[in-house]
């Protein structure tokens, strides 16, 4: 039997749930997490674009393939 340890993020979220947040609080937490990961993705993509000298034209061509 394989047991998986919880990540730090999962442990922190369990702490939040132990306080029985309202539905509105849960919505806001979900939105906060979504925004955080979206911002992180955008930052990583922009860094990759800059590092690899990818132009807007390159991206347009990929989108139209």
**For the residues 2-12, what does the mean pLDDT come to?**
85
**Rounded to 5, what percent of the chain is helix, strand, coil?**
70, 0, 30
Total domains in the fold of the chain: 1
pLDDT, one tens digit per residue, over 8-62 is 989 988 888 888 889 999 899 899 999 999 999 999 999 999 999 999 999 999 9
Q: CA dihedral in degrees (25, 12, 5, 36; nearest 10)?
A: 70
Using alpha carbons, select from 35, 36, 29 the residue that is nearest to residue 14: 29
- Its pTM surpasses 0.75: no
With respect to residue 49, please indicate whether it lies within any of the assigned structural domains.
Answer: yes
Q: What's the CA gap between 4 and 50, in Å, rounded?
A: 37
Structural domain harbouring 46: 21-63
DSSP class of 27: H
With respect to residue 55, please indicate whether it lies within any of the assigned structural domains.
Answer: yes
């Amino acid at each position: 039997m394989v047991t998986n340890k919880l990540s730090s993020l999962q442990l922190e979220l369990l702490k939040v749930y132990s306080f029985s947040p309202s539905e509105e609080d849960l919505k806001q937490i979900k939105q906060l997490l979504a925004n955080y990961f979206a911002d992180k993705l955008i930052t990583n993509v922009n860094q990759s674009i800059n590092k690899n000298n990818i132009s807007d034209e390159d991206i347009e061509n990929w989108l139209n393939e």
